[in-house]
Amino acid sequence: MSKIIELKNVNKWFDKFQALKDINLEVNQQEKIVICGPSGSGKSTLIRCINRLEEHQDGQIIVDGKEISENTKDLEKIRAEVGMVFQQFNLFPHLSILDNCTLAPIWVKKMPKKDAEALAMKNLERVQIADQAKKFPGQLSGGQQQRSALARALCMEPKIMLFDEPTSALDPEMIKEVLDAMVDLAKAGMTMIVVTHEMGFAKEVADNMIFMDEGKIVEKAKTKDFFENPKSDRTKLFLSQIL
Amino acid sequence: MNLSILKSDKKNLNSFIAAGSALIFIGFIDIILSSFFSTNITAFLPSKISYLTPLLFGLFGLYLIRIEFSGNKLLDKVNTNFNSSNFNALLTLLVIFALIKYIPPLLNWFVFDANFAGNTKEDCTSGGACWVFVKVWLNRFVYGLYPDTEQWRINTAFLTLFLLVGASFFVPQKFKKYIIIFLLFVYPIIGLKLISGGDFGLKYVETGAWGGLSLTFIVSAFALILCFPIGTILALGRRSKLPAIRYTSIGFIELWRGVPLITVLFMSAVMFPMFLPDGTYVDKLIRVLIAITLFEAAYMAEVVRGGLQALPKGQYEAAKSLGMGYWKMHFLIILPQALKLVIPGIANTFLALVKDTPLIFVVGLLELAGMVNLAKTNPKWLGMAMEGYVFAGLVFWVICYVMSRYSQNLEKKLKTER
């Protein structure tokens, strides 16, 4: 399998606070990685650096063969290949669900409107929300909104999907419907990096687990090893607290 | 003295209601007498006291009928809504009595004693408003000093405008786009050419002769249409990451916001031509339009910036993560939401702009209020300032009220979330 994302010695500071310390990470095509760790450990910052919603100050980030830096000219093209699902959904409230999904394909990928709508319906079908296509985001439940956001990202037909705590803002009974949609996506072979506290999901889907603390990757291991035989004491402590 | 006998209670409900109603009734009779017949029941008392007696009668009456849970539905309703305490009773009476006392004289002046017939000031004999003045001068109030024989040009221009705007509401979405583009980019040139003339066999009418309500509309419309995009770009510029653009925007906004409009207009008329090379001439009206536009754009920029700041960061991030660049992100995602949020602020700025147009008198352009000002100094019509300004005020009020209603409808129509 070939590498699709590569991080080499990445460092990031927010003013004087160092959010990421010497991150090295390789992600292969179709690999699913779940990142966990206590809050403030740099998990979100790490995946937001991958599509440059945050800027790193040191080191290299290479996505699909192109390095991401302040000199990157076609940052938009790279972002179009990297889908992202946010904790707060971030749907566009002034557009219907269907328009949310077709907007970027039409304007960024120059797709004809008809094709974009067909694609959007296909993806909405996939997350089982096609019947809500004409509604506005404000009229949907949290779980439905998050699935719409997932469909919106999928409409760009990305090579990589990033999930930034996709279920943290949801009521417990809605978490499952979102996780189910993500499991389906994983089974379809998408490359995924997921920041989440849902360990059940991690066990089911992840190839590799990453545990982060204080801006560092403390442990990276195969999922089975990670849960059954964690090496670092910090990981053990964390797992004992959340499992 | 023991006042407990005056304390309302349910036992003697009917007698209290009777006594209270009688007192309130006397209060009303008193105020109506003083309003229509300039006398009242207590006219024998010193005038300052008799002025207040209706209020005292009414207050005491309301005090007597203030009985909680009386069982009488109407009475309970009155008591909870208007008469829950002495202070509320006083406010209720003050409002009602003020209306009775001051509305009739006002109506008399406006309508009943007003003069409508005739053609000269001498026809106004009855003491009320002299609307003859407005009638005689109406043509000037609408067209300014524009030659009578050429006024059809203004009529045609405005009629076309109204028809096009009206049509844009009824035609299918597909054509609407073209009508709006035509209205914004082609029509202004045609309209201005038609009114100014000089070609196509039309007599040239210099802008100094333009005036009245039509000039109010011309100045307002141009400034409104132009200040909006400029303001939006300034707002974006002020939030730009590029220091050159940001500081230029800040400088521009703060400069124009910090100067009174009247001085800006004065500068545009007196100072601006000095900076132009010899022989070039920019029309007075154009200079005024530019000045007002830039002035209002600075205000618009701050209104729009408020909307931009109210949007959550997540909207920007979602747009970016879908691969949108700066302009796509702003035109598709950010501005539609931000502008919708600040419709009340935009309407505010627009209303202020319309009401600022009379200030163009400093460069010698006379729109509606300016024409009124001119007409009232006519020796044959001295002393008509009141009628003139009331008329101008009413016209401005109607224009602004229509705009305000339109903005409220727009707000409702565009509401999709929350």
Cross-chain Cβ contact B416/A108 below 8 Å: no
Mean pLDDT across the stretch B38-43?
72
Report the distance separating Cα B111 and Cα B128, nearest Å. Answer: 8
Tokens describing residue B270: 């007196």
Q: Report how far residue A190's alpha carbon sits from residue A205's, in angstroms, rounded to the nearest whole number.
A: 11
The CATH superfamily label for domain B131-146+205-417 reads: MetI-like (1.10.3720.10)
DSSP state letters, B237-271: HHT-SSHHHHHHHHHHHHHHHTS-HHHHHHHHHHT
Average pLDDT over residues B246-263: 92
The whole-number pLDDT of residue A135 equals 92
CB-count exposure of residue A104 (10 Å: 0-12, 13-18, 19+): buried
Radius of gyration of chain A (CA): 18
Interface of A with B in 37-56 (CB under 8 A): 51, 53
Of the candidates A123, A130, A133, A121, the residue with the CA atom closest to the CA atom of residue A161: A123
Give the three-state DSSP class for A63. strand
A21 Rama class: left (phi>0) / alpha (psi -120 to 50) / beta: beta
> Pairing between strand A208-213 and A32-36?
parallel
**Record: contact B417-A104, CB cut-off 8 A:** no
Helix (H, G, I), strand (E, B) or coil at A131: helix
Of the candidate ranges A34-43, A155-164, A191-200, B172-181, the one whose mean pLDDT is the lowest: B172-181
**With an 8 Å Cβ cutoff, are A104 and B314 in contact?**
no
pLDDT at B4: 53
Residue A182 pLDDT greater than 80, yes or no: yes
Residue B387: is its pLDDT beyond 90? Answer: no
Nearest-CA distance B249 → chain A (Å): 25
pLDDT confidence tier of residue B6, bands split at 50, 70 and 90: low
Q: What is the chain A residue with the closest CA to B328?
A: A107
**In angstroms, how far is CA B57 from the centroid of its own chain?**
39
How many residue pairs bridge chain A and chain B with CB atoms within 8 Å of each other?
Answer: 74
The predicted-structure confidence for A49-62, as pLDDT tens digits, reads as follows: 998 999 999 899 99
> How far apart, in whole angstroms, are the C-alpha atoms of residue B53 and residue B45?
10
Do the Cβ atoms of A232 and A218 come closer than 8 Å? yes
Q: Which chain A residue shows the shortest CA-CA distance from B417?
A: A138
Check CB contact of A227 with chain B, cutoff 8 Å: no
Question: Are B325 and A76 a contacting pair at CB < 8 A?
Answer: yes
pLDDT given at position B47: 75
Asked if the ipTM is above 0.90, the reply is yes
For A55, the 3-state DSSP assignment is coil
Which chain B residue lies closest to A149 (C-alpha atoms)? Answer: B318
Single out the residue of B255, B264, B331 nearest to residue B299, CA to CA.
B255
Q: Which residues of chain B does CATH 1.10.3720.10 include?
A: 131-146+205-417
Q: What is the pLDDT of residues A74-103, one digit of tens each?
A: 888 889 999 999 999 999 999 999 999 999
Shortest Cα–Cα distance, B312 to chain A (Å)? 9
pLDDT for residue B1 is more than 50:
no
Where does the pLDDT of residue B8 fall: very low under 50, low under 70, confident under 90, or very high at 90 and above? low
Q: Tens digit of pLDDT for each residue in B52-109? A: 888 888 888 888 888 777 777 888 888 888 888 888 888 988 898 888 888 888 888 8
A100: left (phi over 0), alpha (psi -120 to 50) or beta: alpha
- For A127-152, what is each residue's pLDDT tens digit? 999 999 999 999 999 999 999 999 99
Provide the chain B residues 396-415 that lie in CB contact (below 8 A) with chain A: 414
Pick the residue of A81, A101, A108 with the most B CBs within 10 A to test the interface with B by mutation: A108
Q: What is the pLDDT of residue B175?
A: 80
The edge-to-edge listing of strands for the beta sheet with A208-213 is A82-85, A160-164, A191-195, A32-36, A208-213, A216-222
How sure is the predictor about A178, in pLDDT bands with cuts at 50, 70 and 90? very high
Write out the two tokens for B372: 């009124």
Residues whose CB is less than 8 angstroms from the CB of residue A214 and which lie 6 or more positions away in sequence, other chains included: A21, A41, A42
CB spacing of B416 vs A90 below 8 angstroms:
no
Comparing CB atoms, the residue among A53, A81, A104 nearest residue B317 is A53
Using DSSP, state whether B119 is helix, strand or coil: coil
CB contact A121 to B (< 8 Å):
no
